[in-house]
């Protein structure tokens, strides 16, 4: 197992290098002048060249890349062109908010996804199954920014129960575990939980139905296990696939929340990314994308390792 872990870690190194190259290049390939947001529209050529040199944009790409990497390893992702603040600080703050939202949404989504999935898989073609299936199809197919807006209209504008936007009272982006902040979390988290709920429910339903149709289930019954004992076997059989799906969903939630964060003005990575793109803030954009991509790599690694640890059918070679 340790050998496997070591190997798996070594394999991630080229992935990480590849990811950083792509992050770096992507931003440079994209059209637009990186300094347009800080320079006055009537700036002279002289000033432009000066600024380019100050940010290092006049150097060849490979040199910029190595410098960027070297500093990134030390935890320095440069300074934001738009705000002049440290990118690392901005990204970390945004990551904290996104993580909070993603984890709460994942919790809600997985809880109901697992519940609906297991119930539907156990009672296939019953009324409960049909209701759960309809809910999960809706969950997967409804655009979530639209759902977010509907929830805002109903619960914030009409009923006035919950705040429509922001992460805390008075637009604060520092999160604190008090009721005023939790209120802000509810609508975006519920909106965000709908997609993993639908996907997890559908996956688990199919998985449970498949496991229950296998021959070892009557064999377990034949040796006298209770239905609860058999349920334990079903769970352990479903666990590797379920974990893989849930890990991926968590990954999507961590990275793919631009729309929801924008709808709710949630100060997370998606929001930050959005701002960085519109302001052509190169260092901020590169830094945010890199951190998100590394998240994905790490999450994949964890899912793989956990899956291998709990599924004896996967060869550890």
Partner 1 sequence: MLTAPPLVDIQDLKVTFTGGPKPICAVNGVDLALERGETLAILGESGSGKSVTLRALLRLNPEKRTKVDGRIAVGGEDVLALKPRELQAFRGRTVSMIFQEPALALDPVYTLGHQIAETIVKHNGGSYADAKAKALDLFERVRIPSPERRLENYPHEMSGGMRQRAMIALALACNPKVLLADEPTTALDATVQIQILLLIRELQREFGIAVIFVTHDIGVAVEVADRVAVMYGGRIVETGPIRDIIRRPRHPYTIGLLKSRAHDAMAKGTRLDAIPGSPPDLANLPPGCSFAPRCKLGTPACTEAVPEPVAVGEGHEARCFRTDQTAAA
Q: For residues 195 and 208, which CB has a smaller minimum distance to partner 1 in the complex? A: 208
User: Please, are residues 234 and 204 in contact by the beta-carbon 8 Å criterion?
Assistant: no
Residue 278 within binding range of partner 1, rule CB under 8 A: no
Neighbours of 171 (CB within 10 A): 10
Neighbours of 163 (CB within 10 A): 19
Residue 226 within binding range of partner 1, rule CB under 8 A: yes
User: Please, are residues 300 and 249 in contact by the beta-carbon 8 Å criterion?
Assistant: no
Crossing angle between the packed helical segments 61-73 and 282-310, to the nearest 10 degrees: 60
Residue 221 within binding range of partner 1, rule CB under 8 A: yes
* Cα–Cα dist 317/306, whole Å: 15
Q: For residues 89 and 229, which CB has a smaller minimum distance to partner 1 in the complex? A: 229
Selected range binding partner 1 among 30-38, 76-84, 221-229, 259-267, rule: CB under 8 A: 221-229
Q: For residues 230 and 299, which CB has a smaller minimum distance to partner 1 in the complex? A: 230
Residue 313 within binding range of partner 1, rule CB under 8 A: yes
* Cα–Cα dist 124/218, whole Å: 17
Which of 94, 74, 77, 98 has the alpha carbon at shortest distance from 86? 77
Q: For residues 76 and 311, which CB has a smaller minimum distance to partner 1 in the complex? A: 311
Residue 312 within binding range of partner 1, rule CB under 8 A: yes
Q: How many residues bind partner 1 (CB under 8 A)?
A: 20
Residue 11 within binding range of partner 1, rule CB under 8 A: no
Binding mask 197-216 for partner 1 (x = CB under 8 A): -----------------xxx
Rounded to the nearest whole angstrom, what is the least distance from the CB of residue 113 to partner 1 in the complex? 22
Rounded to the nearest whole angstrom, what is the least distance from the CB of residue 221 to partner 1 in the complex? 6
End-to-end CA distance of the chain: 9
Which chain residues interact with partner 1 by CB under 8 A?
214-216, 218-226, 229, 233, 236-237, 310-313
């Amino acid at each position: 197992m340790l050998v496997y872990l070591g190997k798996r870690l070594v394999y991630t190194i080229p992935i990480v290098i590849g990811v950083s190259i792509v992050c770096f290049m992507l931003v440079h390939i994209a059209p637009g002048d990186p300094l347009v947001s800080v320079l006055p529209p009537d700036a002279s050529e002289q000033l432009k060249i000066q600024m380019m040199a100050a940010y290092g944009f006049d150097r060849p790409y490979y040199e910029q890349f190595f410098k960027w990497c070297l500093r990134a390893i030390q935890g320095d992702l440069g300074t934001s062109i738009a705000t002049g603040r440290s990118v690392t600080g901005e990204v970390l703050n945004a990551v904290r908010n996104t993580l909070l939202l993603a984890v709460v949404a994942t919790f809600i989504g997985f809880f109901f996804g697992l519940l609906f999935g297991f119930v539907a898989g156990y009672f296939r073609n019953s009324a409960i199954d049909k209701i759960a299936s309809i809910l999960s199809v809706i969950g997967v197919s409804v655009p979530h920014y639209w759902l977010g807006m509907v929830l805002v209209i109903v619960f914030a504008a009409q009923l006035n129960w919950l705040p429509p936007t922001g992460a805390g009272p008075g637009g604060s982006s520092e999160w604190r575990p008090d009721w005023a902040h939790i209120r802000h979390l509810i609508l975006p988290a519920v909106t965000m939980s709908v997609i993993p709920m639908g996907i997890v429910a559908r996956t688990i339903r199919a998985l449970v139905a498949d496991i229950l149709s296998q021959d070892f289930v009557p064999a377990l019954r034949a040796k006298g296990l209770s239905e609860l004992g058999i349920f334990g076997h079903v769970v352990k059989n479903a666990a590797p696939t379920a974990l893989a799906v849930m890990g991926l969903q968590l990954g999507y939630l961590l990275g793919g929340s631009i729309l929801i964060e924008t709808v709710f003005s949630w100060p997370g990575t998606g929001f930050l990314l959005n701002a960085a793109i519109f302001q052509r803030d190169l260092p901020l954009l590169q830094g945010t994308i890199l951190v998100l991509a590394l998240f994905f790599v790490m999450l994949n690694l964890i899912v793989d390792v956990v899956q291998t640890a709990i599924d004896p059918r996967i060869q550890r070679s």
